[in-house]
Structure 1
């Protein structure tokens, strides 16, 4: 079995993939124009697409929750009632509605209600607390905040001064919605595709979370390109979604694929490796979305009959590592893996439409793979221009910005400008810096290599090292902290590790440190390894030392004391042989 990504894509690969597309060619033909030609002024939005499906197919199942179905018609009427509540409270075109919720039907219908009004759904991460969620609320500057009672602890950690005038929980929302009009809002049919649909939070490259902007127009690229041309769901299909709806894979890719096929979306409150296939079977799913760690956790489960007693034929997501690709598809009987590459703020995406194994796929939009320096910036030559790398050689992926392929960026224009590369190959051109290393494979396919910069990715989330450093520095007695990501065999992404310099005479209690960090950080940002060092360089060569710490990881720490995270109950404990294997098998931390 091959365990690596292909070095190049051949004609045979493309022909084989094209043959598999033949049954879906009629539906693909409907979506192809939407990928190539998307006018920002066109009266085409998510709300319009959903309302049209509800009108044409009112009795077709749209949401499945714990095995029970809600039809397109029923869902659309409730969506319209929620929209009426928001409108009566003054929410209109361009306003922001903060949504803080675990997955459930109300969450999804509230999202659709918001975008039907031309308002922006601000997708808050319910793992955030305190200063971090306050920062997110400040970025939203919302007209309303609607929250799920199940995440009251996150809601209660928001400072009162960050709350908008309109605050409702789901119970109050439903009470106000009773008796409201169930007709489509009049504004929906006139909204242009350029209207902003979502703020999706990402760690970006440094600092606290940034809110990336997603217009309806860019969402439509996922709808047509990933959903219509690659995933190719049929009306009889059901996509199971266990990822949170604030995650781009769920909100854009999965919802886009469902609506592009007029299919059903089955929502799970949250991912459970032990119950995953049981829920897939209960909800009669034929597809699901994933991130790499989800696939790892499923493989780590003991084999059982339900591994093959489901009807899933196609899955879509990102982070499926080449070394587990065949093992995963063989064990669980998956016919097609629609791996894709993209980011909430990036203006293009690659998608494995041709079913070429172990690649992130194909993109028809303009991009370049260029030389880079160790700081993750593009390297300029003596003339100040960028140079492309040879096919198969790792390079920095940059995407061209144009009227046809604009960039939505972040809510803070200065953050967006930092990611834009100007005068790259000629005067006045512009490219968006992905911050990622990739290899070109031919036929406009790439393979993902690694992330550049300080941010690392763990459990499908971007982790900003400055956020982790600030949390550890606040533990008491800490002089200085350096945070970075380290590879753990058998895991996707990089696990968090911190090097800590203590003040003279100060001592950290391992359980109290863990308790403090669990209160301060999202669970995915918790450092798994804590290394105590005598001193951290604060000179101009500090970044080089950080690179060295990352390379030393947890295997070359010399005589330095090393702790590892055992979980909420035990906190940090001394490093032990086998810890890395426990992390890979999802046995630690618990």
Structure 2
């Protein structure tokens, strides 16, 4: 048989083997996802080229910033409350900081904490300290008492810089601060008197040199530590995650290329600069790529889009809870008359995604997922509603992240007979992990300052003996096309009536039905009943939620087993700096009216909510009320 017959027959045979192995469906999935995967692959290649170039040159964040200063010294760098800082302004301020602390004896490897509100000087302080190799822990400005003290001491700090507005909270813990800790008070123009041994940093900076630091000073290198960024502290004390220069550059460049940011973009971020989202992803576009960033002292739901319009912003940043607050504001002419081409962030719930995009005329949403300390980072950059990213179904090994089977309560991986982890199938929830490769900025896990806390986030012997992965602790699910969707945190999912209930999904629906109010959902134990019943705590200090309407509407959006059995109407709430509600104390208090002064309700057998009195509570505990 000649080639005219042999080659087609060979192709048919090979095709038959492939089809028998993967099925025809694979070709359909390949056809619809290839454009998405190719776009992501090109972005990833650009990222790798950039980070490897900087690695070869052994450059730091401040080195890269210097190139931006040289390119356009008079370009607007930061806008804050109508004050404009150019690249030259930020460079000169950071040089003053570097020279001041060098003359005070600080050197490479020292640690100086920073407790300051959002303002240009916040960026200038840690940038200046980095020029002499000093590591800067960025302290959450909401912390007080033991949490604040812990954040300072766990970092093994030599000094603390704090704004004048935080003087009182520093005085409160002063007797417990290490005796060697030097204090620097950063004052506004009023020149607030310092307390005790604290130095007046603002006055000292005026006489410090704005010129580049002397060449003989030992500088940091590419892999040195740059910042410590603390977890939000929704449970336990905050943990300090390590951010090196290489890690900072990787995060900034990664979001830059995957979101297709431009160097002439004007970014708007009202997020706290002590967290990765605002302080690295947005501010980093200025330091690394020369863009302009608008920062705010505090987030304002009603001021979000008016600010975006006022400053001609082209990119704005969000956190999911912020979108709900913004959506609840009255209509405003600025809602859709802006120049935004993209909003990016994490946590935009699918239940409000379409409404938010439509009302505010958003051309594109860039949803990302990732932990400050982790290496499992993904991006949804093609407007797929609800997705937080994707994995390729065609070339899954290009970006080594996976979803593995795990106990949904503990997060502990479920292993096979060989002791190895098991991949989840499409639409099967599991724990998200990222492969660890030491020395690779995209795959390295730097963890926390506390090494024991770091070890808890590492799973070993994943798909072969000896390999390692970062254990996110988050439950995700991947659909047939590889799109990833957040389900819940391990331990937050609870079981009721034989069904697994995701607190995040229930929270989204309860919030919508309650008029976009803050709410938190958790499972509570009822004596002598299996599982945990759902309870929703809703922030409604004026008690405007109509219970009858609420009960009717919740039936339309949640199955019976997922509807809250108990309601608690909060008169005050405790939010973290990233707008996350604190759950632990609420869960401990349960539904006991003997301990709780807030209004409590329970769901009757008819699906109505009625007041939970002490008498009813006793009946529930005696199992005289059916659920």
What TM-score results when the alignment is normalised by the length of structure 1? 0.75
Q: Deviations over 1:7-65 (max 9, x none)?
A: x977446637978x9xxx9x998645136x47767412211111110111101110101
- Larger CA Rg, structure 1 vs 2: 2
- Compute the displacement of 1:523 (Å): 8.6
Q: Which residue of 2 aligns with 1:293?
A: 321
CA-atom RMSD in angstroms: 3.8
Q: Deviations over 1:142-193 (max 9, x none)?
A: 1221111223343333343325532112123221111322233347995322
Q: Which runs of 5+ in 2 are unaligned?
A: 1-27, 188-199, 392-397, 495-502, 527-540, 542-569, 604-627
Q: Which residue of 2 aligns with 1:480?
A: none
Q: Name the stretch that deviates more: 55-64 or 490-499.
A: 490-499
Report 1:229-268 matches (<5 A): 229-235=258-264, 237-268=265-296
Of residues 357, 370, 373 in structure 2, which corresponds to 1:345?
373
Residue 511 (structure 2) pairs with residue 489 (structure 1):
yes
Of residues 87, 97, 102 in structure 1, which corresponds to 2:112?
97
Q: Which residue of 1 aligns with 2:86?
A: 71
Q: Which residue of 2 aligns with 1:319?
A: 347
- The CA distance in 2 between the partners of 1:500 and 1:353, in whole Å, is 41
Of residues 580, 590, 593 in structure 2, which corresponds to 1:561?
593
Residue 413 (structure 2) pairs with residue 378 (structure 1):
yes
- The CA distance in 1 between the partners of 2:230 and 2:31, in whole Å, is 39
Q: Which residue of 2 aligns with 1:58?
A: 73
- The CA distance in 1 between the partners of 2:285 and 2:572, in whole Å, is 40
- Compute the displacement of 1:80 (Å): 0.7
- The CA distance in 2 between the partners of 1:382 and 1:45, in whole Å, is 46
Residue 244 (structure 2) pairs with residue 224 (structure 1):
no
Q: Deviations over 1:303-324 (max 9, x none)?
A: 1111012222211210011222
Q: Name the stretch that deviates more: 514-523 or 351-360.
A: 514-523
Q: Which residue of 2 aligns with 1:439?
A: 477
- Compute the displacement of 1:108 (Å): 1.5
Q: Which residue of 1 aligns with 2:560?
A: none
Please give the secondary structure, in 2, of the residue aligned with 1:322.
Answer: coil
- The CA distance in 2 between the partners of 1:310 and 1:358, in whole Å, is 24
Residue 621 (structure 2) pairs with residue 573 (structure 1):
no
Of residues 42, 50, 55 in structure 2, which corresponds to 1:34?
50
- The CA distance in 2 between the partners of 1:353 and 1:246, in whole Å, is 25
Q: Which residue of 1 aligns with 2:432?
A: 397
**CA separation of 1:497/1:129 partners in 2, compared to 1, >3 Å: closer, same or farther?**
farther
Please give the secondary structure, in 1, of the residue aligned with 2:371.
Answer: coil
- The CA distance in 1 between the partners of 2:235 and 2:415, in whole Å, is 23
Q: Which residue of 2 aligns with 1:15?
A: 35
**CA separation of 1:275/1:189 partners in 2, compared to 1, >3 Å: closer, same or farther?**
farther
- Compute the displacement of 1:279 (Å): 2.3
Residue 214 (structure 2) pairs with residue 182 (structure 1):
no
- The CA distance in 2 between the partners of 1:259 and 1:353, in whole Å, is 23
- The CA distance in 2 between the partners of 1:54 and 1:330, in whole Å, is 39
For the 8 Å contact 2:573–2:581, the answer to whether it is kept is no
- Compute the displacement of 1:302 (Å): 1.0
Q: Which runs of 5+ in 1 are unaligned?
A: 1-7, 457-483, 502-510, 534-548, 550-556, 565-571, 579-590
Q: Deviations over 1:210-249 (max 9, x none)?
A: 11111111111212111233241332x2111111111110
Residue 306 (structure 2) pairs with residue 278 (structure 1):
yes
Q: Deviations over 1:86-136 (max 9, x none)?
A: 222222211111111110111111121122222111011111111111111
- The CA distance in 2 between the partners of 1:493 and 1:443, in whole Å, is 33
- The CA distance in 1 between the partners of 2:270 and 2:131, in whole Å, is 24
- The CA distance in 2 between the partners of 1:521 and 1:224, in whole Å, is 25
Please give the secondary structure, in 2, of the residue aligned with 1:489.
Answer: helix
**CA separation of 1:11/1:115 partners in 2, compared to 1, >3 Å: closer, same or farther?**
farther
Residue 145 (structure 2) pairs with residue 113 (structure 1):
no
Across the two proteins, how many residue pairs are aligned to each other? 497
Please give the secondary structure, in 2, of the residue aligned with 1:323.
Answer: coil
- Compute the displacement of 1:442 (Å): 6.1
Of residues 468, 471, 476 in structure 2, which corresponds to 1:430?
468
Q: Which residue of 2 aligns with 1:536?
A: none
Residue 146 (structure 2) pairs with residue 131 (structure 1):
yes
- The CA distance in 2 between the partners of 1:315 and 1:71, in whole Å, is 24
Q: Which residue of 2 aligns with 1:542?
A: none
- Compute the displacement of 1:422 (Å): 1.2
- The CA distance in 2 between the partners of 1:300 and 1:563, in whole Å, is 32
- The CA distance in 2 between the partners of 1:101 and 1:334, in whole Å, is 32
For the 8 Å contact 1:238–1:266, the answer to whether it is kept is yes
- The CA distance in 1 between the partners of 2:588 and 2:484, in whole Å, is 39
For the 8 Å contact 1:199–1:212, the answer to whether it is kept is yes
- The CA distance in 1 between the partners of 2:493 and 2:103, in whole Å, is 42
**CA separation of 1:532/1:226 partners in 2, compared to 1, >3 Å: closer, same or farther?**
closer
Q: Which residue of 2 aligns with 1:450?
A: 488
Q: Which residue of 1 aligns with 2:531?
A: none
What TM-score results when the alignment is normalised by the length of structure 2? 0.71
